[in-house]
């Protein structure tokens, strides 16, 4: 025993090789000793009282009274920077076995875990309510154990930054100087399977993961004082403890007995005890007078087991040679294995391979080790030493059981509230969703909760006092829900602030039954739900009625609700190693009853946990896991689809996106980008950012992949059949250009609208892919037939209804030909249009305008009677003649038109047959209706949105073809306002010009007026039909009630037209359709444009 | 010659990000479409609108990227070390910061420091200007 430091707290520590030891004390120096009588020991003058120190390589880390953990370089002791700072003196530091992490505790109740490779990477652990007494880092660097003057022992999970276990074990005091015990705890070296905790008269050993007391070492009667420090021998079997009156005990944890007891002469309180890491046999200790003592050969002789460990290693080295000669393969193998194992065991750095080794392998090794050793012993001719060794070795595998247990079950993920930050923070987000933000401040001065609404029109900000320690919350546009977990004395409670209620009692609270603790909660429309540790889900109305109670199959993880939907995620059982095994239940809570929509497994990425759960604005369930994968639940296909990876947007590896909410259209993820952390601080106020969705498809760099991704995403988000047709067209064009005709045909098969089909066929024929065009037409015809026969069966009643509703249909049957004329006209018209657009269309076919013209488009796939001029309606001359002309002029020039003509002719046979069949079945059905019905449906559902009737049935029955166009709102409006416009622009003479002006005006007219006109138009449409009974023979349906005026106009048109022809030709792209036809078609077209 | 109010008027056309606390559809201005406004979601609007909304307590203004102490300190250093004018972060930085610091100081972290730094930057540049005029 030597006097080295001035009196006061003194600590000692060995370097890793055990050759030198370092001591520190209140005199402000660190001394470096080769041995106890080292005369020229070195002193590093720190100038601050060093409370704790650790040595790694050429660095000394010292926790000082100046509130910092400093690093010094050896041998000269030059400062190497500050590792971390506190606001009070550092009380204890510890270094992980791999030398990568340093943990420090201080008088300001905080614990910091510093990554020594990157000292900016610090984890702060705060939950103790008194100065930290000691800290200890787990050899596997997963956990930190800490004790504090508040009497508690806490075990922290470093990655989660929260404590897993907290127990009050020690007497409470206000400062370390007043504490009776230093409470220096220690993890079992290498595997950290045990945590030794010195209590007053015993040492408790806690088991890893379960954190239960595995066994207790009782202090014998004769040992006096309070046990305050424990230290593990590097062999992981022996334990040294010291007491406040100078006793040193050495324990064997496998026999659970005290094997040695020493007494320091002066009964002085001992402060520190450490084992020599190399030899594992000597102990260094200090007392509070600044003296250091060393006990050599603690485990020598008196306890054979102790000695065996270091010795056996040596013996084996010898034996390897021995067995080499014997050339016993098995044995040799065993020896090398055993040797490797032992070496690994004694290596400073934990070999990772060893950890990863399958257990079976380890077990085998263990066996071989003991076998080997027994063999060794026998070969040693039963000498005394050998006997000793054998005895020890046989027991040895027993003392190292943790290495051979089966795969460790993955710890179950703890329950959490989506979009909240950890509970232990003094200022944190309890919830951040689409409605508002709930923040919680928990400091010494105040404990309060702030609720702030994004939309101030929902409610003004709220402020609650948080005496009850609410730590869970949710908010929606009706209420704020808070919940506490309670403790032994107070039950768990929920509190609801129903601010949207119309009476004066806005608030209510309710306590859970004894021992039932709220673990998760969710707030939906008019209900709230809580999940408890008893696996109950309790549903309340927002006014506080207990409405429902049901059980979950496993412990709840989290839950979320939106409108009438609720999703609950629970543990289904242990997952694969590293994985969670979660299940989810989706509920639909209607007024009458609650229905489980689905109960199934929740997919997660490998070795990840669920981090967010909620609904999109549109009401689709969504989840996010710790690997940043965002998934949406597609109810149609009952599958979770991964729609985004937030990690791909993160700049650094440690950057995260903290999810707030999601929206499907436009597809966006609302989140907060956190640099270097998993969640945002409350100050400075974080700003949400938006991330896009992107399905993880292959080959996203190429156009093809991008388009496919876009189509899938659009289809998924929209949930309708007609979504993504534009994208499909692009894909089609791309495949065409890449000469992939079969692929193009496949793309076509995915198209759901006739319009898209038409365009595709046109495109194919124009890009000279005749084979493709032909195939497509065949497919289209097939499809059409299938569709119409299906419809026939399904919608019989429907058809009747429709016909009743739309008497015009019936009369139209005899004017069928006329209709077709018109259709043809339209088609040609469009062909012409497209033809003009062709140059532009070729490179980017989807830019074409036809999409804009949907409403007027008459799908050419509809089987038509061959166009013949004889059947033309003589009364429609003014309109259809023009069309005729156009057609005659145009068709020879158009590749597409040819194709269609052929196709039509081909199809007409089929469809005629079909029609006959139908007619037999149902005579009353006019053939034209049969033929056009499908097309009209599709068209109206996809294009005719702005048109008259909103209900699908209505729209179906509403004719959209060109022949009914006169009833359009614009034309009515135009009739009304023509004179005004003409007056306003006297300089304009031609009808067409006026028409154009009118179109411009019409576009400017606001939607309401448009609707009004639409309404009038639709009314007139029906009126018109009545009239038509009389007039149909005389008047073209193209005119309706306004026929007279219209005809006049048309005549005017003609006149004007001739005058303006030249002018128009120059200007108008449609000029080449020439003459009167130009005007008519142009006007029609423009009218449609305006309507769009 | 433009007077300060005119320059300010021009500066007000700069876009800044705000976080509105109300919802509103897009509105269509001559200069372009603005919105839609979703409560709690950032949206870009001209400065004049941002200030107006801020005054009516309809939004929080997110200071421009360059309006923080670190950036400005670096900029100031750069400006100091160079003999000529350095490229500024925004041609209207002075006007913008003046407007933002008067109307939305609570939305800017370390508003006082930012203010001082901007002033320094301005002074350095003014000094350079004077110097070059003197040389002439």
Condensed to tens digits (0 to 9), the pLDDT of residues A399-413 reads: 444 555 566 778 888
Counting Cα atoms < 13 Å in the Cβ hemisphere of A765 gives 23
Helix axes A927-942, A895-921, angle to 10 degrees: 120
Contact assignment for A455 to B23 by CB distance below 8 Å: yes
Condensed to tens digits (0 to 9), the pLDDT of residues A96-122 reads: 888 888 899 988 888 988 888 887 888
Condensed to tens digits (0 to 9), the pLDDT of residues A1024-1083 reads: 444 444 444 444 444 444 445 545 555 555 555 555 544 444 444 333 434 444 455 555
* β partners of residue A550: A537
Contact assignment for A453 to B21 by CB distance below 8 Å: yes
The predicted pLDDT at position A990 comes to: 64
Q: What percentage of chain B reaches a pLDDT higher than 70? A: 99
Report the mean per-residue pLDDT for chain A: 71
The predicted pLDDT at position B6 comes to: 87
Is pLDDT at A846 greater than 50 in this prediction?
no
Residue of B21, B38, B41, B108 to mutate for A, most A C-beta atoms under 10 A: B41
**A224 vs A1080, which has greater pLDDT?**
A224
Rounded Cα–Cα distance for residues A1003 and A1089 (Å): 9
CA distance A457 to chain B (A): 7
Contact assignment for A455 to B41 by CB distance below 8 Å: no
For residues A839-863, average pLDDT: 40
The predicted pLDDT at position A249 comes to: 84
The predicted pLDDT at position A807 comes to: 43
Is pLDDT at A252 greater than 60 in this prediction?
yes
**Residues of B in Cβ contact (< 8 Å) with A666:** none
**A350 vs A771, which has greater pLDDT?**
A771
For residues B81-98, average pLDDT: 85
Q: What percentage of chain A reaches a pLDDT higher than 70? A: 62
For residues A760-766, average pLDDT: 86
Structural domain total, chain B: 1
Contact assignment for B39 to A453 by CB distance below 8 Å: yes
Structure tokens at A693: 């969705």
**Residues of A in Cβ contact (< 8 Å) with B56:** none
Least confident piece of the model among A122-126, A822-826, A1077-1081: A822-826
Is pLDDT at A819 greater than 60 in this prediction?
no
pLDDT tier for residue A870 given thresholds of 50, 70 and 90: very low
Which CATH number covers residue B112?
3.40.5.50
Q: Which domain holds residue B86?
A: 4-135
The predicted pLDDT at position A1067 comes to: 44
**Residues of A in Cβ contact (< 8 Å) with B22:** 455-457
Least confident piece of the model among A88-102, A867-881, B116-130: A867-881
CA distance B56 to chain A (A): 12
pLDDT tier for residue A806 given thresholds of 50, 70 and 90: very low
**Residues of A in Cβ contact (< 8 Å) with B41:** 454, 670, 688, 690
Contacts of B18 (CB under 8 A, 6+ apart): B42, B43, B44, B45, B50, B53, B54, B59, B60, B61, B62
The predicted pLDDT at position A611 comes to: 92
pLDDT tier for residue A936 given thresholds of 50, 70 and 90: very low
- Give the 3-state DSSP-derived string for A136-149, with helices as H, strands as E and coil as C: EECCCCCEEEEEEC
ipTM summary value: 0.85
Residue of A419, A433, A454 to mutate for B, most B C-beta atoms under 10 A: A454
**A73 vs A935, which has greater pLDDT?**
A73
Task: Map out the domains of chain A with their CATH numbers.
Answer: 180-297 (2.130.10.10), 306-404 (no CATH), 427-691 (2.130.10.10), 699-752 (no CATH), 753-1091 (no CATH)
Is pLDDT at A1021 greater than 70 in this prediction?
no
CA distance B48 to chain A (A): 21
B21 in reach of chain A (CB within 8 A):
yes
Contacts of A6 (CB under 8 A, 6+ apart): A25, A26, A27, A290
Distance (Å) of CA A777 to CA A499, A900, B42 = 62, 9, 49
Least confident piece of the model among A674-683, A709-718, A932-941: A932-941
Contact assignment for A453 to B42 by CB distance below 8 Å: no
Contact assignment for A690 to B41 by CB distance below 8 Å: yes
Contacts of A76 (CB under 8 A, 6+ apart): none
Nearest to B40 among A457, A684, A688 (CB): A688
The predicted pLDDT at position A337 comes to: 54
B69 in reach of chain A (CB within 8 A):
no
Counting Cα atoms < 13 Å in the Cβ hemisphere of A702 gives 10
Rounded Cα–Cα distance for residues A210 and A206 (Å): 8
Mind giving me the DSSP string for A679-695? Answer: S--SSSPP-EEEE----
Residue of A435, A455, A459, A1007 to mutate for B, most B C-beta atoms under 10 A: A455
**A430 vs A235, which has greater pLDDT?**
A430
B105 in reach of chain A (CB within 8 A):
no
Is pLDDT at B65 greater than 70 in this prediction?
yes
Looking at chain B, the number of H-run helices and the number of E-run strands are 5, 5
**Residues of B in Cβ contact (< 8 Å) with A457:** 22
Is pLDDT at A897 greater than 60 in this prediction?
no
Condensed to tens digits (0 to 9), the pLDDT of residues A478-523 reads: 999 999 988 888 899 999 999 988 888 889 999 999 889 999 999 9
Contacts of B9 (CB under 8 A, 6+ apart): none
Residues in chain B: 136
pLDDT tier for residue A889 given thresholds of 50, 70 and 90: very low
Whether residue A1052 has a cis bond before it, omega within 30° of 0: no
**Residues of B in Cβ contact (< 8 Å) with A690:** 41-42
CA distance B20 to chain A (A): 8
* β partners of residue A480: A475, A497
Residue of B18, B39, B56 to mutate for A, most A C-beta atoms under 10 A: B39
**Residues of B in Cβ contact (< 8 Å) with A684:** 109
Q: Closest chain A residue to B36 measured between Cα atoms?
A: A666
Residues in chain A: 1092
The predicted pLDDT at position A790 comes to: 67
Phi-psi region of A243 (alpha: psi -120 to 50; beta: other; left: phi over 0): beta
Is pLDDT at B126 greater than 70 in this prediction?
yes
CA distance A436 to chain B (A): 8
Residue A555 φ/ψ, nearest 5 degrees: -60, 135
Least confident piece of the model among A274-283, A546-555, A789-798, A1034-1043: A1034-1043
pLDDT tier for residue A843 given thresholds of 50, 70 and 90: very low
**A107 vs A899, which has greater pLDDT?**
A107
**A839 vs A124, which has greater pLDDT?**
A124
pLDDT tier for residue A1019 given thresholds of 50, 70 and 90: low
Rounded Cα–Cα distance for residues A524 and A830 (Å): 51
Q: Are A687 and A712 in contact (CB under 8 A)?
A: no
pLDDT tier for residue A1009 given thresholds of 50, 70 and 90: low
Is pLDDT at A976 greater than 80 in this prediction?
no
Is pLDDT at A286 greater than 80 in this prediction?
yes
Is pLDDT at A301 greater than 80 in this prediction?
no
Is pLDDT at A674 greater than 90 in this prediction?
no
Is pLDDT at A383 greater than 60 in this prediction?
no
Least confident piece of the model among A249-253, A924-928, B51-55: A924-928
SS3 state of residue A523:
strand
The predicted pLDDT at position A569 comes to: 94
Is pLDDT at A14 greater than 90 in this prediction?
no
């Amino acid at each position: 025993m030597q006097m080295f430091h001035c009196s006061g707290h003194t600590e000692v520590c060995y370097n890793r090789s055990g050759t030198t030891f370092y001591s520190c004390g209140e005199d402000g120096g660190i001394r470096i000793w080769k041995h106890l009588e080292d005369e020229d020991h070195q002193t590093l003058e720190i100038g601050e009282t060093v409370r704790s120190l650790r040595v790694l390589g050429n660095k000394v880390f010292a926790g000082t009274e100046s509130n910092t953990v400093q690093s010094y370089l050896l041998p000269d002791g030059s400062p190497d920077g500050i590792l971390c700072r506190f606001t009070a003196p550092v009380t204890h530091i510890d270094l992980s076995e791999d030398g990568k992490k340093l943990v420090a505790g201080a008088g300001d109740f905080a614990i910091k875990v510093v990554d020594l490779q990157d000292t900016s990477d610090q984890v702060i652990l705060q939950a103790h309510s008194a100065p930290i007494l000691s800290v200890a880092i787990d050899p596997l660097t997963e956990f930190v154990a800490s004790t504090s003057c508040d009497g508690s022992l806490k075990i922290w999970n470093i990655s989660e930054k929260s404590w897993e276990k907290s127990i009050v074990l020690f007497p409470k005091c206000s400062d370390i100087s007043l504490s009776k015990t230093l409470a220096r705890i220690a993890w079992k070296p290498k595997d950290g399977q045990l945590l030794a905790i010195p209590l007053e008269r015993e040492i408790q050993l806690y088991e890893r993961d379960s954190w239960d007391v595995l066994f207790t070492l009782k202090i014998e009667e004769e040992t006096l004082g309070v046990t305050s420090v424990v230290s593990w021998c590097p062999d992981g079997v022996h334990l040294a403890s010291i007491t406040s009156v100078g006793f040193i005990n050495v324990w064997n944890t496998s026999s659970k007995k005290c094997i040695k007891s020493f007494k320091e002469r002066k009964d002085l309180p001992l402060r520190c005890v450490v084992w020599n890491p190399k030899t594992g046999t000597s102990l260094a200790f200090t007392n509070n007078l600044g003296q250091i003592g060393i006990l050599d050969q603690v485990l020598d002789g008196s306890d054979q087991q102790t000695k065996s460990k270091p010795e056996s290693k040596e013996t084996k080295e010898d034996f390897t040679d021995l067995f080499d000669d014997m050339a016993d393969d098995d044995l040799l193998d065993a020896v090398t294995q055993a040797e490797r194992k032992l070496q690994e065991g004694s290596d400073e750095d934990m070999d990772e391979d060893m950890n990863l080794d399958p257990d079976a392998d380890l077990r085998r090794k263990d066996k071989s080790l003991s076998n080997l050793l027994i063999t060794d012993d026998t070969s040693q001719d039963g000498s005394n030493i050998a006997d000793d060794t054998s005895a020890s070795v046989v027991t040895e595998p027993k003392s190292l059981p943790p290495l051979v247990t089966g795969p460790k079950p993955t710890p179950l993920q703890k329950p959490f509230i989506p979009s909240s930050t950890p509970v232990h923070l003094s200022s944190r987000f309890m919830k951040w969703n689409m409605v508002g933000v709930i923040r919680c401040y928990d400091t010494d001065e105040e404990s309060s909760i702030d609720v702030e609404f994004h939309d101030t029109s929902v409610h003004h900000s709220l402020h609650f006092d948080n005496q009850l320690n609410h730590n869970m919350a949710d908010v929606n546009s009706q209420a704020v829900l808070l919940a506490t977990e309670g403790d032994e004395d107070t039950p768990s409670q929920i509190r609801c602030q129903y601010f949207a209620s119309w009476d004066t009692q806005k608030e209510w609270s309710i306590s859970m039954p004894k021992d039932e603790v709220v673990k998760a909660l969710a707030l939906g429309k008019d209900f709230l739900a809580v999940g408890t540790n008893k696996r109950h889900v309790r549903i309340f109305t927002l006014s506080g009625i207990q409405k429902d109670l049901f059980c979950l199959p496993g412990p709840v993880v989290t839950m979320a609700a939106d409108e009438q939907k609720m999703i609950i995620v629970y543990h289904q059982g242990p997952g694969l190693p590293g994985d969670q095994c979660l299940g989810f239940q989706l509920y639909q809570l209607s007024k009458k009853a609650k229905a489980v929509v689905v109960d199934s497994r929740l997919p997660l990425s490998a070795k990840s946990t669920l981090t967010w759960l909620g609904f999109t604005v549109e009401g689709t369930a969504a989840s996010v896991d710790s690997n940043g994968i965002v998934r949406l639940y597609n109810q149609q296909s009952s599958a979770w689809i991964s729609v985004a990876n937030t990690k791909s947007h993160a700049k650094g590896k440690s950057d995260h996106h903290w999810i707030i909410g999601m929206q499907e259209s436009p597809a966006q993820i609302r989140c907060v980008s956190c640099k270097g952390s998993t969640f945002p601080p409350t100050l400075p106020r974080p700003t949400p950012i938006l991330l896009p969705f992107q399905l993880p498809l292959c080959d996203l760099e190429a156009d093809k992949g991008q388009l496919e991704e876009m189509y899938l995403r659009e289809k998924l988000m929209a949930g309708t059949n007609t979504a993504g047709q534009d994208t499909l067209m692009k894909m089609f064009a791309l495949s065409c250009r890449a000469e992939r005709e079969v692929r193009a045909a496949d793309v076509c098969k995915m198209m759901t609208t006739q319009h898209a089909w038409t365009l595709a066929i046109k495109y194919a024929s124009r890009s000279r892919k005749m084979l493709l065009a032909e195939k497509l037409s065949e497919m289209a015809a097939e499809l059409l037939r299938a569709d119409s026969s299906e419809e026939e069966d399904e919608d019989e009643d429907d058809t009747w209804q429709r016909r009743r509703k739309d008497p015009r249909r019936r009369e139209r049957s005899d004017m069928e030909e006329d209709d077709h004329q018109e259709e043809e006209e339209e088609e040609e018209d469009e062909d012409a249009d497209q033809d003009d657009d062709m140059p532009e269309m070729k490179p980017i076919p989807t830019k074409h305008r036809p999409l804009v013209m949907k409403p007027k488009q008459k799908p050419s796939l509809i089987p038509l009677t061959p166009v013949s001029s004889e059947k033309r309606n003589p009364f429609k001359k003014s309109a259809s003649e023009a069309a005729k002309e156009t057609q005659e002029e145009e068709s020879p020039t158009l590749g597409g038109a040819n194709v269609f003509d052929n196709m039509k002719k081909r199809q007409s046979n089929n469809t005629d047959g079909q029609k006959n069949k139908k007619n037999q079945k149902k005579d009353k059905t006019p053939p034209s209706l049969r033929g056009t019905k499908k097309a009209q449906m599709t068209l109206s559902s996809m294009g005719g949105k702005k048109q008259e009737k909103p209900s699908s049935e209505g729209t179906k029955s509403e004719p959209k073809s060109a022949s009914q166009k006169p009833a359009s709102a614009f034309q009515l409006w135009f009739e009304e306002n023509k004179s005004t416009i003409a007056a306003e622009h006297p300089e304009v003479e031609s009808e067409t010009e006026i028409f154009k002006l009118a179109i411009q005006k019409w576009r400017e007219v606001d939607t309401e007026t448009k609707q009004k006109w639409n309404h009038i138009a639709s009314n007139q449409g029906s009126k018109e039909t009545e009239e038509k009974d009389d007039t149909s023979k005389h008047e073209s349906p193209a005119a309706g009630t306004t026929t007279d005026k219209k005809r006049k106009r048309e005549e005017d048109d003609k006149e004007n037209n001739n005058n303006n022809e030249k002018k128009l030709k120059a200007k108008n792209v449609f000029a080449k359709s020439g003459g009167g036809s130009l005007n008519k078609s142009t006007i029609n077209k423009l009218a449609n444009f305006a309507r769009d | 010659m433009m007077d300060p109010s005119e320059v300010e008027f021009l500066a007000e056309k700069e876009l800044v990000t705000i976080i509105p606390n109300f919802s509103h559809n897009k509105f269509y201005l001559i200069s372009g479409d603005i919105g839609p406004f979703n409560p709690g979601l950032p949206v870009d609007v001209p400065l004049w609108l941002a200030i107006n909304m801020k005054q009516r307590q309809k939004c929080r203004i997110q200071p421009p990227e360059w309006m923080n102490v670190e950036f400005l300190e670096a900029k100031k250093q750069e400006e100091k070390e160079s003999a000529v004018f350095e490229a500024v972060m925004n041609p209207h930085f002075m006007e913008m910061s003046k407007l933002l610091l008067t109307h939305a100081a609570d939305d800017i972290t370390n508003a006082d420091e930012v203010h001082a730094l901007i002033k320094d930057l301005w002074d350095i540049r003014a000094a350079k200007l004077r110097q070059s005029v003197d040389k002439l």
